[in-house]
Chains A and B, each alone.
Chain A
Amino acid sequence: VQADGTDGNCVTFVLHDEDHTLGNSLRYMVMKNPDVEFCGYCITHPSESKINFRIQTRGTLPAVEPFRKGLNDLMGVCQHVLDTFEVRVFLKSS
């Protein structure tokens, strides 16, 4: 991970070894955050697996915050999906 930006509000993170799989889902979670003014990601070149993930926040919130919150929210979603799915499989098999 590398960060680059003029001030704390607009930061471009470079995530190595990632592609649309994490990029799109993380973008969706960060966009759901009302403090975020702009969020987007792009793949710099299809031969290299790294993505530029940019977050711009409204106000003076440091951009790392929505990034961290987005990751935590995505973890929460996955955990809930996993629990629900496993309960269903268990119910179906018994």
Chain B
Amino acid sequence: DEMRDRVVLGEFGVRNVHTTDFPGNYPGYEDAWDQRRFEEAFRVDIIREEEGALEFDMVGIDAAIANAFRRILLAEVPTMAVEKVFVYNNTSIVQDEILAHRLGLIPIRADPRLFEYRNQGDEEGTEIDTLQFQLKIKCSRNPQAAKESSDPNELYFNHKVYSKHMTWVPLGNQTDLFPDADFRPVHDDILIALLRPGQEIDVLMHCVKGIGKDHAKFSPVATASYRLLPDITLLQPIEDEAAEMLQKCFSPGVIEIQNIKGKKVARVANARLDTFSREVFRHEGLKNLVRLARVRNHYIFSVESTGILPPDVLVSEAIKILMGKCQRFLNELDSVPME
């Protein structure tokens, strides 16, 4: 029973890692797949939703599917990013290819669902799959600066090239397709290059739709990760000094000490906060009194978006992409006759 639903952290290793609840493994347990039972046991709780980050729990699914969602969030949800940079003039100190690399990594606030993928071998780019941006900036000397000042902010105009200097150039009928859209980088204060008087940058950029598998610049999440819910059990009641030591072994807030009949007794208050540093195993006296484990099917996901799409939209997109993959194989199975 413990093997079925807890992953136990021993002193030197982790036990019961793999899922074993397949039909036939345990007599007396109904393990075959049942959609109804899954739906009854499954739930999603949203813990915290902030500007660009989302923390939510998924209870009742298996590691394989949770990991599939995480992998899709990182690598297969499409976004728009700068792919081709046409350099008309670059007299700055930043080399062309470095400048192009930096421009590619800037997140662009454009909903990728409105665009198509570019066809292979298509060099020009049509209006349905490309966004064009222009960066044209020239640094000049400030004639009104004081004689002895050495502050570049006073001496020069436009010496720092920020992402807010990128302007959208509509292609074809994009002004009609997106009348009130404003395509620009997500953050205005990303420093792209530094200039001095006489240097200028004049580039035209094409943004296309891509996925993270192709290049990491297309990844829509700053990061997406999950962890299992910790489960700490005290095998025996722990009192007094041992209780104090136990409280120090875990992250603050996990163990709380209550005063019962004059004696201090330790109790697990909030196991969720723990980061499992296994400090307990370093103390001989406490080692055998605590069982550190994780609940096998309770996943705490944490998704941070780069700002292109809000994190809950990203999770929905990831789930739809997994469905799309299954559908693709189902269609192939039906269309190609199996001999």
Return chain A residues, CB-CB under 8 Å to B62: 28
A43 at the interface (CB under 8 A from B): no
Chain A nearest CB, measured from B259 CB (Å): 38
Return chain B residues, CB-CB under 8 Å to A20: 67, 71
If over half of A's interface residues share one DSSP class (helix, strand or loop), that class is named, otherwise mixed; here it is: helix
* Binary flags per residue of B12-48, CB closer than 8 Å to A gives 1, else 0: 0000000100111000000111010011001111100
Chain A nearest CB, measured from B97 CB (Å): 25
Return chain A residues, CB-CB under 8 Å to B39: 80
If A79-B323, A84-B43 touch, whether A28 touches B65 (CB-CB below 8 Å) is yes
Return chain B residues, CB-CB under 8 Å to A80: 35, 38-39, 42
If A28-B19, A73-B35, A84-B44 touch, whether A34 touches B24 (CB-CB below 8 Å) is yes
Name, among B45, B323, B326, B336, the residue most crowded by chain A CB atoms within 10 Å (CB to CB): B326
A25 at the interface (CB under 8 A from B): yes
The distance in angstroms between the C-alpha atoms of A45 and B19, with both chains bound, is 25
Partner of A25, one of B22, B58, B64: B64
Inter-subunit contact B326/A78 (CB<8 Å): yes
Inter-subunit contact A34/B23 (CB<8 Å): yes
Partner of B76, one of A21, A72, A82: A21
Inter-subunit contact A88/B46 (CB<8 Å): yes
B319 at the interface (CB under 8 A from A): yes
Inter-subunit contact B22/A74 (CB<8 Å): no
18 of the cross-chain contacts (CB-CB < 8 Å) are A1-B333, A18-B325, A20-B67, A22-B325, A22-B326, A26-B326, A28-B65, A32-B23, A32-B31, A74-B326, A80-B35, A80-B39, A81-B65, A82-B316, A84-B42, A84-B43, A86-B316, A92-B46
